[in-house]
Amino acid sequence: MGKFVVSTRKNGEFQFNLKAGNGQIILTSEGYSTKANCLKGIESVKKNAQVDARFEKKNSSNGKYFFNLKSTNGQVIGSSEMYESESGRNNGINSVKENAPSATTEE
């Protein structure tokens, strides 16, 4: 089962990582000024991860693949790691869809 792990960045901002059951990070958030907003971001991931249209598939300038998960207002909630292949990116999206809705939160 997946889990969200909340941490504090060196600049004092809060962020979360969504980890799959094997411990691999599958989604990383932006920085939030407050922990409360970070927790709201987690709720947004849980809700939006069920909507295919919220996943924006991207290619980086170095030829790797990644995706962003966006909220209903178009703001990026989280970004994936870089993948070597398109199929790897698609597997990452599927992992977010499977893990996010029932993931626990560790603060």
Evaluate if residue 22 carries a pLDDT over 90.
yes
pTM of the model: 0.94
Evaluate if residue 90 carries a pLDDT over 90.
yes
Evaluate if residue 9 carries a pLDDT over 90.
yes
Angstrom distances, CA of residue 3 to CA of 23, 35, 73, 95, 97: 9, 17, 25, 12, 13
Evaluate if residue 103 carries a pLDDT over 90.
yes
CATH for 3-105? 2.30.29.80
Whole-number Å distance between alpha carbons of 35 and 4: 13
Evaluate if residue 1 carries a pLDDT over 90.
no
* pLDDT tens by residue, 40-60: 999 999 999 999 999 999 999
Per-domain residue ranges of the chain = 3-105
